[in-house]
Amino acid sequence: MSDSNIIPKWLSVGLIPLMNLFLAFCVSGLFILFIGENPFRAISVMIKGAFYYPGAIGYTLYYTTNFIFTGLAVALAFHARLFNIGGEGQAYVGGLGVGLVCLVFDQHVVGFLVTILAILGSVIFGAIWGIIPGYLQAKRGSHIVITTIMFNFIAAALMVYLLVNVIIEPGQMSPETRDFASGVGLVQIHILAKYLGLDIAMSPLNLSFIVALTVSVGFWFLVWRTKFGYEVRSLGHSETAAIYAGIKVSSTIIIVMAISGGLAGLVAINELLGVHNKLLLGFTAGYGFTGIAVALMGRNHPFGIFLASLLFGALYQGGTELDFEFSSITREMVLLIQGLIILFSGALAYMLNPLVERAYLKYYGNYSSA
Amino acid sequence: MKNIENKEGSETIESLPSSTKLAIELKNITKRFGHVVANSDVNLKVSTGTIHGIVGENGAGKSTLMNILFGLYKPDSGMIFLNGQAVDVNSPEKSIALGIGMVHQHFMLVPTFTVLENAMLGNEGSMFLQSGEEFVLDRLRGLSENYGLDVDFEAIISETPVGMQQRVEILKALNRGAKILILDEPTGVLTPQETIGLFDILRSLREQGVTIVLITHKLKEIMSITDTVSVMRGGKVVANFSTEKTSPEELAENMVGRKVLLSIKKPTLKVGNPVLEVKNVSHESKDGVNVLKDISFDLRQGEILGIAGVAGNGQSELLDILSGIETLQRGKITVNDKTILPYQDWNSKKAREFGVAHVPEDRHKRGLVLPFYNYENSILGYHRNEEYSSGFLMDKRKIFNFVDDLVENFDVRPRSSSISSSKLSGGNQQKLVLAREIESNPKILLVGQPTRGVDIGAIERIYEDLMKLKSKGTAILLVSVELDEIMSLSDRIIVMNQGSIVGETNSSDATELDLGKMMSGLEKV
């Protein structure tokens, strides 16, 4: 991934992503038109659904939280030129960490402490699920893309096995653990607001959002202000130069994958400690995969990732509303729109660059060279 | 400094005899890449059956101009005339059809094909390979005898020496009917003897009416083989000369735009104790090739030891082992009284701790992380040092203080700490790498190809810095494929061929021919 040297930064990181987004919406509009609905009405429903209705913003930010975690996970690996496709599995296994800590301790230890331990559990379990592919890449040369994809499947199978056979609540049919004890979990923002005398609509938004923002700042600090971040970026740009500089390539890869997996694992705190209050099957719902698009669109910078996460959060939430409002627009249609956005701003992220470069040079290029 | 900006125009063109037929005439060629003007209003005339040299520093626009002539780039404006006819060369196919052949600096050969298969590529002679081969082989044999292009048609390209590969490239062009031959830096990979052979071929081509354009940065070669020469600077042709009426000094002056000192003042210094001892080092590459065979030498304080050899004879691997990039497999290295044994923990980090600094051969791949800013690159490898950090954090202010001084003291242009190093010219990139390594106060400096792709102005500066370092008592190991460089900088020279040391001499006794013989493995001393 290389950004253009020709055009100024505000064009390449500001205008072009917006143009990509606009294109995606245009094509989505055509599909909506095709099934006989008014695309402008659809978009207004979507925007209202994401930002206007009571609780809408809370829901949007709740989804945003997940995307920040997975987006940062993918981005950190990108900085070391590793393509971590395994965010989904790492988040899932992170959930196992949360679940195990809560199930083991919540009867004996004070809730606050259990919550802290559970957060650590999500990070550590996610990290382990990142370390293994990292180790295989660093020491055995197994390509990280292949191994992380495989580890998603392994994670899914492992969780099904555990939830159906081992940690399922005895005497019930659905593959879930029992509820965590009261006092364990991250407070939802609307409840917190009530303590402060504010009345905001109910939503699943919880303290994980604050954790996500803190982690974003920490991410920036780690990548651009620490020696380790410097080594990671050196390695990402040029492995040969990194070796020349005495940077240990394999251990750097493994540590990066550990942190990346840990970041993805944090999805579990939002979902399990913040909302469901138990470990259940399939709670990751594709957030790990969408994180790839988020990182790509956010250009691997925490601020960009925040914006991209907000966009995808709004899409998820607005999309649900779209599904409610129109009988002809189904869940699948919403997925199609999300898919188009990922396509245009992820896979085709650089499609418009040559066009913009030419236009830029035409209007500005000749002045400076004259 | 004398400014000689006004060398353009009519007065210099007169040196070309006006009566001869022009094979190539370029008129007012301009080519821009974005903001960069690579060729600005270039005029060039080359007479039929002559050898015309084009000299200029990196980025002067030589390659762009030749790529336009060969149809790889389309000029923004200007005209091309071949044999007096205006032509539109819009693709390499077209230019080949018009009788232009180009031998690129990096050969365009299929390594797994035979010489014959490569030479006939693009002009197979017939739809069926076998009948085509017979037909083409006949013609190639003729060409080969005619011009002294001695090749083995059966050999696989990857197994043939570079010199022969180059002859195959020339044959390939002639097979396609080239009457104009462009050679881009053809001698970079050749030994002095091979260069002489190549020049013989070029002369016999000229005798038979082939027009040759030779791009090079080696002024000596220009003087010895060309009839006429054009000097390019900053995208323009700044001077044209008839070769016999000019001198290397005058050419260099025109290339740089000011007077340059081509000679080096070597500080006389009594060499001290050995600081680097290499004993019986052998190395096997990943493909199982013995790239180093029983290498032993000493390097002393205040001494510059040059390692001469054609590229690819083990010098790179030697540098890699000494700098800790490669693991030592066999033998023993002693660095500042510390001994390194095979398969011991030996890496670049440790090498730096032992006082070994390294200016790598390939600054793009190794010496710099290109997208990084100058301030980030200027601590590459030293980023763990306390001077630049506090705890696990980088201390940006300390780094900036250091880098601002660095670019100032070593004349890195533009003098900016926060510009991406990829935007620097080759010479300034090299100055930055050298500055970083010198500033680490090394006991031993390993230098690989210090002036590859570096302009003359920067070369002057780099030599000066190396000499300054030597007079401070640092031991310098210099690996270069430029014999002139080795001979003028080193105190002592060892020559490598196929992974072995084949000779050693004091630089005062060395002659280019002797070294050349050793480099080609013909003679042991």
DSSP B199-224: HHHHHHHHHTT-EEEEE-S-HHHHHH
Q: Find, among B341, B322, B330, B305, the residue nearest to B496 by Cα.
A: B305
One-letter amino acid identity for B488? S
**Residue B126 per-residue DSSP state:** S
B368 to chain A: which residues are within 8 Å by CB? 241
CB within 8 Å: A234 and B380: yes
Pick from B32, B348, B365: which is nearest to A246 by CB?
Answer: B348
CA atoms of B425 and B414, how far apart (whole Å): 9
Looking at beta carbons, which residues of chain A come within 8 Å of B394? 225-227, 230
* DSSP state, residue B515: H
Tell me: the pLDDT tens digits for A45-91?
Answer: 989 999 998 899 999 999 999 999 999 999 999 999 999 999 999 99
Condensed to tens digits (0 to 9), the pLDDT of residues B247-256 reads: 888 888 888 8
Which residues of chain B does A2 touch, with a Cβ-Cβ cutoff of 8 Å? 371
B354, B380, B436: which to substitute to probe chain A, counting the most A Cβ within 10 Å? B380
Q: How many CA atoms lie within 13 A of B500 on its CB side?
A: 11
Q: Average of pLDDT values for B36-56?
A: 91
CATH topology of domain B1-12+21-91+211-256: Rossmann fold (3.40.50)
Residue with token string 């939830």: A163
pLDDT band of B119, cuts 50, 70, 90: confident
Please give the helix or strand (H or E) that residue B319 lies within, else none. helix B315-322
- Name the interface residues of B facing A (CB cutoff 8 Å): 32, 34-37, 323-325, 347-352, 358, 360, 362, 365-372, 376, 380-381, 383-384, 389, 392-394, 396, 422-423
CB atoms within 10 A of CB B7: 19
| Residue A365 pLDDT | 55
Residue B343: how many other CB atoms lie within 10 Å: 10
Number of structural domains, chain A?
1
Q: With 80 as the cut, is the pLDDT of residue A111 above it?
A: yes
Cβ distance A240 to B350 less than 8 Å, yes or no, reads: no
Please list, in sequence order, all residues whose beta carbon lies within 8 angstroms of the beta carbon of residue B337, skipping any fewer than 6 positions away: none
Closest among B196, B481, B435 to B313, alpha carbons compared: B481
Q: How confident is the model at residue B383 (pLDDT cuts 50, 70, 90)?
A: very high
In the numeric block, which tokens belong to residue B181? 């031959």
The answer to whether B283 and B291 are in contact (CB under 8 A) is yes
Chain A's closest residue to B366, CA to CA, is A241
* Closest chain B residue by Cα to residue A7: B34
Instruction: Provide mean pLDDT across the span B421-448.
Output: 91
Tally A–B CB contacts below 8 A: 78
Phi, psi at B292, each rounded to 5°:
-130, 135
Q: Answer yes or no: is A110 within a domain.
A: yes
Q: How confident is the model at residue B261 (pLDDT cuts 50, 70, 90)?
A: low
Q: Of A270, A245, A211, A226, which is closest to residue A79 (Cα–Cα)?
A: A226
Taking only the tens place, the pLDDT of each residue in A5-24 is 567 777 777 788 888 889 99
Q: A248 to chain B: which residues are within 8 Å by CB?
A: 347
Mean pLDDT value of segment B126-152: 83
Q: What is the pLDDT of residue A6?
A: 65
Phi, psi of A294 (to 5 degrees): -60, -45
CA distance A362 to chain B (A): 10
A244 at interface of B, judged by CB pairs closer than 8 A: yes
β-pairing, B85-87 vs B100-103, is: unpaired
Domain that holds residue A286: 62-303
pLDDT over 80 (residue B12): no
Residue of B369, B394, B398 to mutate for A, most A C-beta atoms under 10 A? B369
Q: Report CB contact under 8 Å: A244, B380.
A: yes
**CB–CB of A245 and B35 under 8 A?**
no
A130 confidence band (pLDDT: 50, 70, 90): very high
Task: Give SS3 for B35.
Answer: coil
Q: Compute the average pLDDT of residues B265-271.
A: 75
* Per-residue pLDDT reduced to its tens digit, A183-237: 899 999 999 999 998 888 999 999 999 999 999 999 999 999 999 999 999 999 9
The C-alpha atoms of residue B165 and residue B145 are separated, in whole angstroms, by 17
pLDDT at B288 over 50: yes
- DSSP label of B303: -
By the 8 A CB rule, do A233 and A223 touch? yes
Per-residue pLDDT at B243 exceeds 90 = yes
| pLDDT tens per residue across span B157-215 | 988 888 889 899 999 988 888 999 999 888 877 878 888 889 999 999 999 899 999 99
Of B350, B362, B376, the CB nearest to A230: B376
How many CA atoms lie within 13 Å of B399's alpha carbon, on the beta-carbon side?
26
Residue of B nearest to A365 (CA): B35
Measured CA to CA, the distance from residue B29 to residue B41 in angstroms comes to: 5
Which residues from B are below 8 Å from A6, CB to CB? 34
Rounded Cα distance, A150 and A126, in Å: 15
How many angstroms away from the CA of A44 is the closest CA of chain B? 42
Cβ contact B394–A369 (<8 Å): no
List, as one string, the DSSP characters of A55-82. Answer: THHHHHHHHHHHHHHHHHHHHHHHHTT-
The CATH number of B274-367+442-519 is which of 3.30.1150.10, 3.40.50.720, 3.40.50.300, 3.30.1490.20?
3.40.50.300
**8 Å CB contact of B369 and A234:** yes
Spell out where B186-289 has E strands. 211-215, 228-233, 236-242, 274-284
**Pairing of the two strands B389-390 and B236-242:** unpaired
Query: Looking at the partner chain, which of B32, B381, B423 has a beta carbon nearest the beta carbon of A246?
Result: B381
pLDDT, one tens digit per residue, over A254-303 is 999 999 999 999 999 999 999 999 999 999 989 999 999 899 888 899 99
Is B34 in contact with A245 (Cβ distance < 8 A)?
A: no
Q: Which amino acid is at B209?
A: G
Residue A299: CA atoms inside 13 Å, Cβ hemisphere, count? 14
Cis peptide before B92 (omega within 30 of 0): no
Mutation pick from A11, A81, A230 vs chain B, by most beta carbons of B within 10 Å, is A230
Q: Is B369 close to A238, i.e. CB distance below 8 A?
A: yes
pLDDT-derived band at B63 (thresholds 50, 70, 90) equals confident
Of B349, B370, B396, the CB nearest to A246: B349
Question: For residue A355, is it within any domain?
Answer: no
Determine whether the interchain pair B32/A369 forms a contact, defined as Cβ–Cβ distance below 8 Å: yes
Q: List, in order, residues 6 or more apart from B54 with CB less than 8 Å away.
A: B44, B62, B65, B66, B213, B214, B215, B216, B229, B230, B231, B232
Higher pLDDT, B146 or A103: A103
Residues of B in contact with A5 (CB under 8 A): 422-423
Report percent pLDDT > 90 for chain A: 70
Residues 302-361 of A with CB under 8 A from B: 361
Give yes or no for residue B110 having a pLDDT over 80.
Answer: yes
> Which residues on chain A are in Cβ contact (under 8 Å) with B366?
238, 240-241, 243-244
User: CB–CB of A246 and B372 under 8 A?
Assistant: no
User: Residue B522's pLDDT is what?
Assistant: 66
When CB atoms are compared, the residue of B32, B348, B383 closest to A243 is B348
Residue B309 has which token pair?
A: 């050899």
Judged by a CB distance cut-off of 8 A, whether residue A243 touches chain B is yes
In chain B, the percentage of residues whose pLDDT exceeds 90 is 47
**DSSP-derived 3-state class of residue A172:** coil
Between residues 196 and 235 of chain A, which touch chain B (CB distance below 8 Å)?
225-228, 230-231, 233-234
pLDDT at residue B11 is higher than 60:
no
Burial classification of residue A70, based on how many CB atoms lie within 10 Å of its CB (0-12 exposed, 13-18 middle, 19 or more buried): buried
Interchain contact, B367 vs A230, CB within 8 Å? no
* Most confident listed range (A327-341, B4-18, B113-127, B229-243): B229-243
Under an 8 A CB cutoff, do A245 and B381 touch? yes
Domain boundaries of chain B, sorted by first residue: 1-12+21-91+211-256, 274-367+442-519
